[in-house]
Structure 1
């Protein structure tokens, strides 16, 4: 399991380093990481990603939440920051969640 997490971390970090768009968009980051790990393929003919997951792959592939959490931890460490606009948006969303939680 630890080896799997190290592989996910390495794939996420390399993707964030090489692709600024992935720093702002978790869905895009997830697709690129799944492609890097061999679970997704980009179809250039039809201009879309294709993910085919069999039973074996379903048990082997990383949890999608692990990819997002890894991105979040790296960015909290100051690595591969999102755009200023995206940082502001995330901060606003965080404040909304905190406000909802304190009202209950």
Structure 2
């Protein structure tokens, strides 16, 4: 049998497309059926007080940079931004000059 949803016949069992076989194809299941989730399994909502307590405990784990590290990071970011500004400015002037030569 060929087609969508068709299965090959297994030895000792009916074709599942014919409707006479069970859902598992006549075989034993090798795993338990998962339990349905009940209302008791849902996680409880967080109260504002517990949220604040959790936030404070997480903030205590943060490692803040020292003054020297902060200064170094600031200089690195500043130099990178200045380089990008230079590239964008150069492209702007270059394309402006090119447009004046083509259309001007």
TM-score, normalized by length of structure 2?
A: 0.24
Give the greater-gyration-radius structure (CA): 2
Q: Which has the higher strand share?
A: 1
Considering fraction of residues, name the structure with more helix. 1
Identify which of structures 1 and 2 has the higher relative contact order when contacts are C-alpha pairs closer than 8 Å and 6+ apart: 1
